[in-house]
Amino acid sequence: MHKLVKKFLSFFFLFLFLFPTVETQFHAYEHRDDLHCNATDKHFHSQEHHCPICDYTATDSNAIADQAIGFSIPSRDFTFQLLIESVHIPDAFQDLPSRAPPIV
């Protein structure tokens, strides 16, 4: 059952992802017989075709409010002092046993 749901979900998301591309190509195919001008000089034509999908212009009705955004980066001064004197004690581990205690 779980594999069947995953299979149908994958097809659904594939359809959802590819739908805009396929719809655009179908719409372009509908306009395949329209005449298009290839002239390079400036001139005017009557409206070539009327299509509500082609004539649609998306407008942004939500203008971004002008706000001053300030970012603060916390910082801390760090001073590093080099170890000037290295201490070497050769007899530091002489009182420790040479092996670990037995595990019971």
pLDDT above 70 (res 94): yes
The residue among 57, 53, 46 whose CA lies nearest residue 30 is: 53
**pTM score above 0.75:** no
Q: Measured between alpha carbons, how far is 29 from 21 in angstroms, rounded to an integer?
A: 12
Helices (H), the chain: 2-30, 52-55
Rounded to whole angstroms, the Cα distance separating 27 from 21 reads 10
Tokens of 60: 């942004």
Question: What pLDDT does residue 84 have?
Answer: 67
